Amino acid sequence: MFNRLLTSAFLGLTVLTGSAVADDADWVGLYKGLDALDGSIDYLSIAIKGPGEFDIRVVPSVFSLCENGKGWIVAEGRLTDEGKLHRFNSRAVCEGGEPFDIRDRFLVRDEQTGIVRFGATDDDRPLIYHRISTQ
């Protein structure tokens, strides 16, 4: 009887641990989207840094925050209790310039389609990213 209880407890912990990792893995990948404001094609990379923590990179074809149009965003991410990905410590890096802080954002992932959305503009019009790779 004790062995059955121990086995059941172990299996329960394994299932719980597995689902937490799966939630993280649901976010991981390379995404592609169109910025409706400036027309650039954006690539969004989300990689696991640790349990519930991520490295986030955004590389647009044209970066409107940079005078020369060339730059990228580096940030950290953390899952919230509501299942959103909080992008924080966000920094824009313009080619040939010094990094500067930009506004933190909350990304939302549609569980059915895997599409990631977040309000990227000051009026919170969403950018929509489609996952193109899970690696």
**Would you identify the CATH topology of the domain 2-133?**
Lipocalin (2.40.128)
Q: What is the pLDDT of residue 11?
A: 39
For 89-124, how does the pLDDT look when each residue is reduced to its tens digit (9 = 90+)? 999 999 999 999 999 999 999 999 999 998 765 666
The lowest-confidence range among 26-30, 35-39, 46-50 is 35-39
Q: Which residue has the higher pLDDT, 10 or 77?
A: 77
How do beta strands 41-50 and 105-109 pair?
Answer: unpaired
Which string of b and e fits 92-123 if b means at least 16 CB within 10 Å?
A: bbbeeeeeeeeeebebebeeeeebbebebeee
Q: What is the pLDDT of residue 123?
A: 63
Q: What is the DSSP string of 26-78?
A: HH-EEEEEE-TTT--EEEEEEEEEETTEEEEEEEESS-TTSTTS-EEEEEEEE
pLDDT digits (tens, 9 = 90+) for 78-90: 999 999 999 999 9
pLDDT at 13 over 60: no
pTM for the model stands at 0.79
pLDDT of residue 119: 74
